[in-house]
Structure 1
């Protein structure tokens, strides 16, 4: 089971991943140089995107026991949605987010579940994510 936690900055992706790791789950925060890199988009702007070869290798590799929870929000993540069993959008109140009107609708369109991290504690988020990714 491969679960992507996505959402805009400030929605609790990293906190949820930390709690899931504390509970013994495999987690990957893709907001590192290991998983992401700066490229130039078609408009000539810098874009922090997933490194496609390592990401594809991770997502197509064999199951190493239990669910894999990954966190990230990159412009090229939609290319990988078919490799995830679940795509979960973490949302939060507008006052803590930027680009709410432009980015979140794109994320919502690709998600198959949404959790409101503004109303749930980190532990409650982890509980809900565990329920979405039962052990095989």
Structure 2
């Protein structure tokens, strides 16, 4: 079982993966490490690296939101969309300490714009959506109930 956890910046992908890792599940955050590259100013998955990782990992939770993730959809048995209302995202992005993305007004505007343009596309391919206004332990419980 390979699960893609996707959604806008600030929805809690990293927090969910940390919770799942604490429960003993294998996780990979594709925002870090060798999994992405910048092509024409856009961060994309390195498809060769991701395909190798996914082919060699029969049980894995992967977080990421990049335009070319659809090209690797066949590797995932589930796609979990995490979402949150815009005011929650604004508050989380302003206060998070693990990542500076979203603190810049332009990045915040970009993220809020993606709520209108990208999130509906993610929702269309998701097998589960969880609104992350509940504690992360409850989010993990809902995700695990769906995928196990």
Query: Shorter-chain TM-score: what band?
Result: 0.7 to 0.9
Instruction: Quote the offset at 1:33 in angstroms.
Output: 3.6
Describe how 1:46-61 pairs up with structure 2 within 5 A.
Answer: 46-61=41-56
Deviations 1:53-78 (A, max 9, x none): 11001112252xxx311100001101
User: CA–CA distance in 1 between the matches of 2:19 and 2:5?
Assistant: 13
* Structure 2: 5+ residue stretches without partners: 90-110
What is the number of residues matched between the two proteins?
Answer: 125
TM-score for the superposition, normalised by structure 1: 0.87
Please point out which of 128, 132, 135 is paired with 2:142: 128
Query: Aligned residue for 2:36?
Result: 36
**Structure 1 or 2: more helix by fraction:** 2
Deviations 1:86-124 (A, max 9, x none): 001000012225121111111111211101012x21000
TM-score for the superposition, normalised by structure 2: 0.80
Select between 77-86 and 97-106 the one with higher mean Cα deviation: 97-106
